[in-house]
Copies of this chain bind each other. A is one copy, B any other.
């Protein structure tokens, strides 16, 4: 991949070790492919590109979801010091830039030896870019994920070896970007599924959303304090967010009844746990820890809860932890049949219930958590 034509082996001088060079690139490729983000994965390969070609600099631009702009996600080498280029660095290239439109329609990389001579590179001479190579980066469905560029400050005729190296690196970037975009899409899809279900529940029971947001936040902070891993906290967060989702299935006459429920209505209301577990099972991505919250959030330490009426360690830790958060928020919030309790009164009640309703080992850590929360960071500074 070395471009210098120093292949003078016969007279005893150094022959460039092209095999080693190619192997280095393979190693860089392997490194890039395993990366956790675009910048760390792509930067070492961009550095190699700048080292081994005439390019003064190179950058990867990622498309935003609606292709309104392409933003710099990784860059190496020198960028032209022009106001226009500073604007590009800050705001990206608009999706209707002629170059981006050309890349949209192109299956392979495009090479411009002189940016003044092609309508595709309109605007680039003013940026200080004299010659340019640009590759589209697509996902498996052919959708444009981004654009990979290298440039020179003086006019330059791109060589075959430079084009080969550029193409190879662009395929590595495509693989990495494709995986990262798909992983991000998984996250967005999961969150939006939770959000849609949350909205559906809220539409039935207007009171719910504030409660859901508060207990979710409280539960996650509790888990954080207890040293749970990120994965465990994430499962808890999903479970907390969905803990009452089964209420969607409860008839209005019960769900919205202002007074006390009679035994039959109460049984109907309690069935929200099983209904919630059923909906949650349909969300195949929910980890067991999330299901545990939904299943166990009305169980009690002494076995007097529902629906399984299990006691102590037979209740999942997620369920025991969440029950504290859920009850604390219910006590300190106003309800049609009661005013909001003060923090002190709620904590006193929760302490009384240690070993009855609640896991006694969790009560004091929970009290400490709420003391931290009610003081609030910086409030006494």
Decide if B19 touches A179 in the complex (CB within 8 Å).
no
Does A33 lie at the interface of the complex (its beta carbon under 8 Å from any beta carbon of B)?
A: yes
CA distance in complex: A164, B20 (Å): 12
Q: Which residues of B have CB within 8 Å of A34?
A: 140, 171, 174-175
Q: How far is the CB of A139 from chain B (nearest CB, A)?
A: 8
CA distance in complex: A22, B285 (Å): 41
Partner of A188, one of B21, B35, B199, B285: B285
Q: Which residues of B have CB within 8 Å of A164?
A: 23
Does A343 lie at the interface of the complex (its beta carbon under 8 Å from any beta carbon of B)?
A: no
CA distance in complex: A203, B284 (Å): 19
For chain A residues 12-37, which have a beta carbon within 8 Å of chain B?
Answer: 18-19, 21-23, 25-27, 29-30, 33-36
CA distance in complex: A279, B193 (Å): 10
Decide if B197 touches A200 in the complex (CB within 8 Å).
yes
Give the size category of A's interface with B.
35 or more
Q: Which residues of B have CB within 8 Å of A188?
A: 284-285
Q: Which residues of B have CB within 8 Å of A140?
A: 34-36, 179-180, 183
Partner of A171, one of B23, B33, B196, B200: B33
CA distance in complex: A189, B245 (Å): 18
Does A282 lie at the interface of the complex (its beta carbon under 8 Å from any beta carbon of B)?
A: yes
> Could you say which of A214-222, A247-255, A290-298 contacts chain B?
A247-255
Does A324 lie at the interface of the complex (its beta carbon under 8 Å from any beta carbon of B)?
A: no
Decide if A278 touches B199 in the complex (CB within 8 Å).
yes
Does A185 lie at the interface of the complex (its beta carbon under 8 Å from any beta carbon of B)?
A: yes
Q: Which residues of B have CB within 8 Å of A252?
A: 251-253
Q: Which residues of B have CB within 8 Å of A3?
A: none
Q: Which residues of B have CB within 8 Å of A36?
A: 140
Decide if A200 touches B249 in the complex (CB within 8 Å).
yes
CA distance in complex: A19, B199 (Å): 59
CA distance in complex: A23, B29 (Å): 13
Q: How far is the CB of A48 from chain B (nearest CB, A)?
A: 13
Given known pairs A167-B30, A182-B179, A282-B195, the reply for A248 and B200 (CB within 8 Å) is yes
9 contacts between A and B (CB under 8 A): A26-B168, A27-B168, A33-B33, A179-B182, A189-B285, A192-B285, A199-B278, A200-B200, A204-B249
Inter-chain pairs besides A25-B26, A189-B285, 7 sampled, C-beta below 8 Å: A22-B26, A179-B182, A182-B183, A185-B186, A200-B248, A252-B252, A252-B253
In the complex, the 9 A-B pairs of residues with the closest C-beta atoms, listed nearest first: A22-B22, A193-B193, A182-B182, A33-B175, A30-B171, A203-B249, A18-B19, A179-B179, A196-B282
